[in-house]
Structure 1
């Protein structure tokens, strides 16, 4: 197959590096057989329009449709040659490549990328070919043989979890853990249903003034039935006693059966996000963890971990900032005092007649 222009020059390869990139990605063996005929018939939207010689014009009635791989190649060639808008010196593929590089170097979020591309779409002339979201961009780039792959890195920027380090669970230089701690069975650890023991029968409630979810006094049900704290109406929730027993500890098989009954799917299943989002609105499950595929997981006695280091840090920071009344960080604010007056029998912390509050002892 000859793709030379009259005069022996190649169609725009020297002036269009993105077209050359596509050809390099396709490899030197591309273009044999019926696919080469399709390539000769592509209408390149560039100033280097190629007109085949008369003797090279194929019999269109005998021409075969390109296979999917070939079609992706042709689409990329057209993207490399297609002007971003009439008269533009930028091609569609050039803009995508530059924007992906900016996204990577500046750790731009997918949402931020979409907003920028949508702005380009609106600001440029109406007949433009801007891909206005990351999903379409990713499909185009993957066709080039450059799949978008997320690689974890150390929180301090020490290493990439890649190649020989891909299986590490903490940084080999600073020791920072690679993953945040979550319930191994993928029960959500935030919100009203955060307790993996109470599960669908939470004892939490939302503070009337502060607006945050609290488990104040929820620990009482784990105490012995004769413990004096259960009947203390003054030092905890005022006028409240606790008679409820602690929830039964479910076996791994019971939890797995519950997940299967709800129909919650794994991350590898089709339409997992849409299905799980609908099913998980009324429960604490986020997804079906792949750990359940392990033969021993349903009999594992320790299915979740507590991140002791960060729990200690958060407790210390909150207590320290409250005791020293650190501006912007203290938990001792007017809303907290109003909630104390509503839920607790601690008159010494009530608001003074002049509107001020006494210092917390």
Structure 2
């Protein structure tokens, strides 16, 4: 059961350290603003590691200047490009202090976010994973929401169950702070999960600790570039496959197995299959020529029992009616509205979930 309390300042917070790793690949132009958003945090001590994955732009020169200006900023560079998971794990290996955060070089932290995180981690030793509210932006970050922080803490098992019930990752990396001791316990990011290693990590953290959400003030700013503001069909299908793999790897790991794991895995697979069918239905709402075969195959492979669900029956009827007839069939008009509402409710990248 969640609890809500005001997040006040905690004595000794100024003496705690939050380690922030900043992976960077050809994002030199963003480095200074990103680093400053960390080192200028109030009420907490910070240390920063810029991990350069063999950038070909001026990242090295810009990082060197930041190291010269700020005595709590370090820099390391890969001799060859190793990919983002390797840069993440460099940060994991380096982290110490109270908490650890990953902040992409093109993202920003909001003022006061790490001080609040340190207060929560200090006041609630059971919390190992903390996240706040994030604002998306393109080039110019909007003004942060300034409000009294309200902390809701749920048992980690409850948080895992919620993720399984939706099949979704409801957080962005820049808004997450992990207690460093918990990070050491659960280990590095999984190299086999190029797109959902974060979901896999958060599930593991929630298995060994409680989860806190800080509502109210902006915690971080997530940059959405012009070329990735809307995912195409191929990317959506890859996202489904990668989320399925993240859940499967999580539940297959003996270190994180619990008595309810088998039931939760079935719940997650059902949610992912339902998501595939709903994505297919949304696509058919807008594209009469769309071939849903790949998403249908994914859904059936993920949860064969889906064929008994209303979502599957509606999808099948839609295909049988054909593109010229089903759009005006009353149940499908209501279905489109319902799917849109669920989409907004379940996708925090467009609208923050309450949990």
> Rg: which structure is higher?
1
Same fold flag (TM > 0.5): no
Q: TM-score, normalised on structure 2?
A: 0.25
